[in-house]
Amino acid sequence: GAVVSQHPSWVICKSGTSVKIECRSLDFQATTMFWYRQFPKQSLMLMATSNEGSKATYEQGVEKDKFLINHASLTLSTLTVTSAHPEDSSFYICSAPPLNYGYTFGSGTRLTVV
Amino acid sequence: DAKTTQPPSMDCAEGRAANLPCNHSTISGNEYVYWYRQIHSQGPQYIIHGLKNNETNEMASLIITEDRKSSTLILPHATLRDTAVYYCIVRFETSYDKVIFGPGTSLSVIP
């Protein structure tokens, strides 16, 4: 079945530094990738939609300059958290649109900013 | 996509059937009901989906009412590993639209 590989699974970074999270579709081409953020005991919150070859679409309230999304190819989408601060600590998840059985999700990245 | 409502939490005894309800009264004729679950600190996992007929796979069964306004996900013999948050989503099968998650149902399987 469709697999989305997300790396890293966890990362700790210092405040003010940038962190890149990668999501790769391993056995299919993903022209679109959705990026979610999840705080403890809360549901997934959609941050943005990346599209191969065009600019990402951000949800209301999400800072475009802080969360840089690039969809470099049909198999790779990246999320860069720039100038990270402790309040950016969260669980980030990517997801590719359906093949036959709905969305395929990455395994998530736990970001901790210290 | 149609909005769904689910109970915030449920308990189930290990080995018993877990029945998770979902209301989707505004579902349109071509929208499917999808179920996902998320085990702590993992990405959501697809469970099952259906249009109007009951569906069964190796993980669960999906019962959709005749008027399609509600459905029930059944885990026939719940185990501790089924403890997770379960999300019910309605959408078109081949849609590439974004998915907005509700709060889901937190299922606790109790020994």
| pLDDT, position A99 | 58
Enter the tokens of residue A56.
């990402």
Q: How far is A107 from chain B (nearest CA, A)?
A: 4
Residues of B in contact with A23 (CB under 8 A): none
Stretch B56-78: mean pLDDT, rounded?
96
Angstrom distance (rounded) from CA B109 to CA B84: 9
Angstrom distance (rounded) from CA B15 to CA B110: 9
Q: If interface means Cβ-Cβ distance under 8 Å, which residues of chain A face chain B?
A: 4, 6, 32, 34, 36, 42-46, 49, 91, 93, 95, 97-98, 101-108, 110
Q: How far is A83 from chain B (nearest CA, A)?
A: 24
Stretch B17-32: mean pLDDT, rounded?
94
Residue with the two structure tokens 């702590």: B40
What tens digit of pLDDT does each residue of A18-29 get? 999 999 998 888
Q: In terms of pLDDT, which residue wins out, B100 or A84? A: A84
What tens digit of pLDDT does each residue of A33-72 get? 999 999 999 999 999 999 888 899 999 999 999 999 999 8
Q: Which of the residue ranges A30-39, B9-18, B93-102 would you say has the lowest mean pLDDT?
A: B93-102
Both ends of chain B: CA-CA distance in Å? Answer: 37
Residues of B in contact with A104 (CB under 8 A): 46
Is some CB atom of chain A closer than 8 A to the CB atom of B45?
Answer: yes
Least CB–CB distance from A34: residue in B34, B41, B98:
B98
- Model confidence at A108, in pLDDT bands (50, 70, 90)? very high
Q: Up-side HSE of residue A33: CA atoms within 13 Å toward CB? A: 35
Angstrom distance (rounded) from CA B32 to CA B50: 6
Decide if A3 contacts A103 (C-beta within 8 A).
no
| pLDDT, position B96 | 74
Stretch A73-81: mean pLDDT, rounded?
94
CA torsion B48→B109→A91→B71, rounded to 10°? 30
Do B96 and A98 lie within an 8 Å CB cutoff? yes
User: Strand A10-13 vs strand A109-113: parallel, antiparallel, or unpaired?
Assistant: parallel
- Model confidence at B104, in pLDDT bands (50, 70, 90)? very high
| pLDDT, position B98 | 81
- Model confidence at A80, in pLDDT bands (50, 70, 90)? very high
